[in-house]
């Protein structure tokens, strides 16, 4: 159906292609690509923060629209208004967990991401069904729409200009195009809000490109098709403002008509075409500027400067030539590294980023090495070799439109202060479409040379095979990483059983990952399954012997089972690899268990030097200084200083810290303060149903009331 709409002229039937067979083959390829994507795509990470579909970013925006407001249906954390700079990640971390990556402005929460998905899909969906749309389903809809339009466009190009090329070559080209789009969505790990916007931009960009094709090949309805192209591209910009400069492709049919116009009447028609090309996109642009002004007081502010994230966007430079070379290397030059174990891929060492750069996302980039088939875009000029002048003219204009779409979108992203492989959906489909056109041109150019044609086919088939193999292996690695990330989210939410299941799924896909074994061990340790956690830590260390955190955590698990000497060995090994306040603290605790007081205190002191606000080391050191039986060890004034600092940090809410402070006061001879402090600790311990601590405090209060300090050799 798409092919008939896009190809309005007459053309001979492609070689060996029965009309129904042509549709069946293309339909099967489309079904395969969309089916594989639907099967492999994962829901977004944000669902772990809130499992309710109505609380996803775009549904919160729709709920706000339905309530007559431009801000989200989400209250801003009250604490943000009390901060001198609410966008400073050094001070806002305690407040933004529920509004992370949203924009905060004048006490309200807004959405930085483009508004188009909310207007064309999420809002109509809830209006028609009464239910809110999942992000994963939105991504599937946008991806399927964009891919089906691209498939129809490719079929139209093939039927009109390459009838001598086999249907199977065209089908392989379609499969290649699907790989370029679908793999990027899958490899971006989640179908989350971040992928919703790029998949929406992809869908409307393909619609615009298809409408431009129709404008060139249906002259009687050229104005209508340009209107639709302009509308589609305006909606693409509304989803991804970074696509703005690709709007130049709308002017190419106008420019072509201007060059072909020879009579006054035809020049007037060119003016009408210009209005059709720029009118809808300009109206959408004005609407976006009004939308921004009403939200942020500026037509050019989408909310980026007000985002709440790990980076202080309002102090960063969003676009700069300074970023170009680094980002160009990320997107086009840096290959994935091959490893000796399944799935045989691993990210290379991170590139040193330029000053002011905010973040680098997923590592599935390096297009020229990881997607070598794109090199066949260089063969695109072959498509007009030996063709009639009129036919060449239109074909050149169309190839120029695809090329400009690729270049402008890629260039803007190379100037941006952040990079992610999911952003490649802005430009890689256009580049891959050029590559497929190059394959068709190569096939046509060699139609009279069977030997060279066969050699060329072997060449591009090998490039295709490598591209497919890379995508399949990278998809396995990406799904393993997805499960690992999901497990971490679940573990942070104390949903330990679910986290264990996710880590096991990650290991089933990538069993030789030290990181995944380590994550599973941490989850098992959280469940107090120490024997099992020890096995997983040991597996992680067998793969990566210099894994400092695994040595440290293995030591902790061994310590919990009373295997103190083994634990000390691993803590010491961890410190040999990397200085860490956690490892120093754990080693000190192990020495404390062995009553090696000097060694324990030295480790506690080193931990507090590395991290002055690390409370456990402060409190254990203060307890030793206040209660150790040997007079040479005790130091009441130092114990008081450490315990008061910890108590101030926790604002007097921790009964164990108050207990330690009371013991320190008693050692310093301040028994009245010791009694009062111990009683506050007792009240808190009783309220928290900490029976063991309550009994200990009752005994110690009796000591302090008789002006006797506390003496202990344990914690």
615 versus 352: the higher-pLDDT residue is: 615
Domain count along the chain: 2
Specify if 72 maps to a domain: no
| HEC sequence for 469-536 | HHHHHHHHHHHHHHHHHHHHHHHHCCCHHHHHHHHHHHHHHCCCCHHHHHHHHHHHHHCCCHHHHHHH
| Mean local confidence (pLDDT), 508-530 | 95
537 versus 364: the higher-pLDDT residue is: 537
| Mean local confidence (pLDDT), 340-348 | 78
| Mean local confidence (pLDDT), 447-471 | 90
- pLDDT above 50 for 9: no
- pLDDT above 50 for 4: no
Question: Taking a C-beta distance cutoff of 8 angstroms, is the pair 210, 380 a contact?
Answer: no
- pLDDT above 80 for 50: no
pLDDT of 709 reads: 95
Residue 407 — pLDDT band, cuts 50, 70, 90?
very high
Specify if 338 maps to a domain: yes
pLDDT of 422 reads: 82
CA 82-83-88 angle, 5° bins: 155
pLDDT of 77 reads: 92
For the chain, give the percent of residues with pLDDT over 90: 69
| HEC sequence for 163-203 | CCCCHHHHHHHHHHHHHHHHHHHHHCCCECHHHHHHHHHHH
Residue 265 — pLDDT band, cuts 50, 70, 90?
low
User: Picking from 299-303, 420-424, 554-558, which range would have the lowest pLDDT averaged per residue?
Assistant: 420-424
Residue 47 — pLDDT band, cuts 50, 70, 90?
low
pLDDT of 5 reads: 42
pLDDT of 164 reads: 87
Q: Which two tokens stand for residue 143?
A: 């991806």
| Mean local confidence (pLDDT), 679-706 | 94
Residue 679 — pLDDT band, cuts 50, 70, 90?
very high
| Mean local confidence (pLDDT), 332-343 | 82
Question: Taking a C-beta distance cutoff of 8 angstroms, is the pair 641, 610 a contact?
Answer: no
Strand partners, 544: none
645 versus 477: the higher-pLDDT residue is: 645
Q: What are the pLDDT digits (tens) for 588-641?
A: 999 999 999 999 999 999 999 999 889 999 999 999 999 999 999 999 999 999
For the chain, give the percent of residues with pLDDT over 70: 93
- pLDDT above 90 for 228: yes
Specify if 161 maps to a domain: yes
| Mean local confidence (pLDDT), 515-537 | 96
Domain edge (last residue) among 445, 473, 507: 445
Question: What does pLDDT average to over the chain?
Answer: 90
Domain edge (last residue) among 445, 474, 491: 445
Torsion of CA 27, 29, 30, 35, to 10 degrees: 120
pLDDT of 188 reads: 54
Residue 148 — pLDDT band, cuts 50, 70, 90?
very high
Q: Among 357, 95, 320, which residue's Cα sits nearest to residue 87?
A: 95
Give one DSSP letter per residue of 642-668, joined into a string. HHHHHHHHTTT--HHHHHHHHHHHHHT
d(CA 487, CA 445): 53
Domain containing residue 663: 633-715
| Mean local confidence (pLDDT), 460-489 | 85
- pLDDT above 50 for 10: no
Specify if 501 maps to a domain: no
Specify if 303 maps to a domain: yes
User: Picking from 13-17, 392-396, 418-422, 680-684, which range would have the lowest pLDDT averaged per residue?
Assistant: 13-17
pLDDT of 18 reads: 64
Specify if 252 maps to a domain: yes
40 versus 700: the higher-pLDDT residue is: 700
User: Picking from 115-119, 260-264, 642-646, which range would have the lowest pLDDT averaged per residue?
Assistant: 260-264
Residue 40 — pLDDT band, cuts 50, 70, 90?
confident
pLDDT of 363 reads: 63
- pLDDT above 60 for 8: no
- pLDDT above 90 for 448: no
Q: Which two tokens stand for residue 644?
A: 């008061």
- pLDDT above 50 for 443: yes
d(CA 361, CA 433): 25
- pLDDT above 90 for 175: no
pLDDT of 489 reads: 87
Q: Among 435, 411, 443, which residue's Cα sits nearest to residue 323?
A: 411
d(CA 97, CA 312): 15
Specify if 544 maps to a domain: no
- pLDDT above 80 for 3: no
- pLDDT above 90 for 551: yes
Q: What are the pLDDT digits (tens) for 191-227?
A: 888 889 999 999 999 999 999 999 999 988 999 999 9
In terms of Cβ atoms closer than 10 Å to its own Cβ (0-12, 13-18, 19+), residue 236 is buried
User: Picking from 163-167, 391-395, 503-507, 711-715, which range would have the lowest pLDDT averaged per residue?
Assistant: 711-715
| Mean local confidence (pLDDT), 375-395 | 87
pLDDT of 393 reads: 85
Domain edge (last residue) among 396, 427, 445: 445
- pLDDT above 50 for 171: yes
Q: Among 519, 527, 384, which residue's Cα sits nearest to residue 444?
A: 384
pLDDT of 2 reads: 40
- pLDDT above 80 for 236: yes
Measured in whole angstroms, the distance separating CA 139 from the mean position of its chain's CA atoms is 14
- pLDDT above 90 for 291: yes
Specify if 22 maps to a domain: yes
- pLDDT above 60 for 544: yes
Pairing relationship of beta strands 418-419 and 359-360 according to DSSP bridges = parallel
Distances (CA, A) of 522 to 138, 296, 378: 34, 44, 50
């Amino acid at each position: 159906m798409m092919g008939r709409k896009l190809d309005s002229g007459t053309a001979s039937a492609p070689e060996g292609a029965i009309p129904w067979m042509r549709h069946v083959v293309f339909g099967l390829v489309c079904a395969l690509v969309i089916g594989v994507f639907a099967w492999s795509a994962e829901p977004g990470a944000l669902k772990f923060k809130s499992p309710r579909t109505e609380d996803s970013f775009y549904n919160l925006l729709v709920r706000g629209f339905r309530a007559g407001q431009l801000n989200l249906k989400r209250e801003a954390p009250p604490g943000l208004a009390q901060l001198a700079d609410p966008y400073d990640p050094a001070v806002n971390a305690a407040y933004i967990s529920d509004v992370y990556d949203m924009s905060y402005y004048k006490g309200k929460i807004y959405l930085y991401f483009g508004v188009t998905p909310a207007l064309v899909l999420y809002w109509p969906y809830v209006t028609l069904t009464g239910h809110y749309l999942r992000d994963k389903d939105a991504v599937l809809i946008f991806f399927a729409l964009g891919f089906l339009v691209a498939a129809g466009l490719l079929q139209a190009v093939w039927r009109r200009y390459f009838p001598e090329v086999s249907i199977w070559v065209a089908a392989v080209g379609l499969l290649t195009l699907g790989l370029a789009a679908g793999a990027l969505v899958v490899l971006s790990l989640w179908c989350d809000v971040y992928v919703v916007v790029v998949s929406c931009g992809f869908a409307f960009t393909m619609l615009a490109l298809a409408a431009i094709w129709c404008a060139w090949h249906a002259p009687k309805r050229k104005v209508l098709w340009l209107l639709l192209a302009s509308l589609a591209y305006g909606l693409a910009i509304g989803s991804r403002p970074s696509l703005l400069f690709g709007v130049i492709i709308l002017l190419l049919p106008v420019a072509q008509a201007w060059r072909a116009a020879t009579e006054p009447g035809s020049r007037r028609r060119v003016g009408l075409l210009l209005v059709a090309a720029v009118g809808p996109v300009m109206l959408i642009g004005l609407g976006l500027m009004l939308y921004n002004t009403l939200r942020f007081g500026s037509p050019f502010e989408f909310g980026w400067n007000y985002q709440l994230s790990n980076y202080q966007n309002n102090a960063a430079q969003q676009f700069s030539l300074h970023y170009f070379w680094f980002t160009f290397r990320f997107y086009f030059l840096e290959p994935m590294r091959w490893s000796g174990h399944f799935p045989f891929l691993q990210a290379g060492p991170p590139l040193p980023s330029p000053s002011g750069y905010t973040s680098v996302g997923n590592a599935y980039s390096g297009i020229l090495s990881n997607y070598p088939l794109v090199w066949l875009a260089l063969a695109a000029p072959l498509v007009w070799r030996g063709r009639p002048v009129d036919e060449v003219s239109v074909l050149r204009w169309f190839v120029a439109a695809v090329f400009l779409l690729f270049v402008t979108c890629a260039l803007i992203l190379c100037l941006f202060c952040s990079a992610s492989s999911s952003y490649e959906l802005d430009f890689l489909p256009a580049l891959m479409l050029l590559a497929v056109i190059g394959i068709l041109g190569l096939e046509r150019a060699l139609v009279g040379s069977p030997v060279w044609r066969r050699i060329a086919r072997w060449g591009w088939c090998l490039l295709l095979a490598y591209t497919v193999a890379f995508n399949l292996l990278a998809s396995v690695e990406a799904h393993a990483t997805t499960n690992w990330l999901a497990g971490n989210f679940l573990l942070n939410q104390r949903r330990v059983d679910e986290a264990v299941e996710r880590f096991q799924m990650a290991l089933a896909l990538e069993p030789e990952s030290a990181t995944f074994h380590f994550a599973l061990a941490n989850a098992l340790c959280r469940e107090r399954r120490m024997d099992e956690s020890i096995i997983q830590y040991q597996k992680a260390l067998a793969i990566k012997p210099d894994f400092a955190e695994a040595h440290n955590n293995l030591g902790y698990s061994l310590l919990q089972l009373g295997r103190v000497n083994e634990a000390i060995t691993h803590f010491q090994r961890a410190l040999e690899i990397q200085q860490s306040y956690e490892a120093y603290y754990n080693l000190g605790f192990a020495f404390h268990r062995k009553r090696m007081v000097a060694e324990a205190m030295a480790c506690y002191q080193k931990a507090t030097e590395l991290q002055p606000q690390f409370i456990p080391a402060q409190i254990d050191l203060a307890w030793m200084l206040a209660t150790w039986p040997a007079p040479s060890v005790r130091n009441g004034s130092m114990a008081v200083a450490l315990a008061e600092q910890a108590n101030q940090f926790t604002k007097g809410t921790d009964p164990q810290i108050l207990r330690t402070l009371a013991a320190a006061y008693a050692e310093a001879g301040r028994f009245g303060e010791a009694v009062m402090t111990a009683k506050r600790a007792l009240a808190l311990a009783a309220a928290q149903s900490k029976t063991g601590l309550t009994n200990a405090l009752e005994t110690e209060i009796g000591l302090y009331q008789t002006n006797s300090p506390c003496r202990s050799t344990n914690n």
